[in-house]
Structure 1
């Protein structure tokens, strides 16, 4: 896990890492940041997530 990351990020990494085999870890971490942004912004719009990613 990355240093100085929010607890939500670490939780999502833990949950996604349990249930999926990722061929490319870059996709895994990008999806994780997108989920965190979605939850924190409470909006579906991608530009709304930018401040949280």
Structure 2
């Protein structure tokens, strides 16, 4: 790994430790809602034929 990339990685890990210990707040947060897989399957056609034994 390049020295500069490794330096950035170490700095990032140090920052993570500070955030985890509650000494600082993260600069941003992402909240991801879970998908409704059943509804997605109804909208998106299958890519390959079904392989289940009951078809």
TM-score, length-normalised on structure 2?
0.36
Higher fraction of helix: 1
Which of 1 and 2 has greater Rg? Answer: 2
TM-score, normalised to structure 1, is 0.38
Higher RCO (C-alpha under 8 Å, 6+ residues apart) = 1
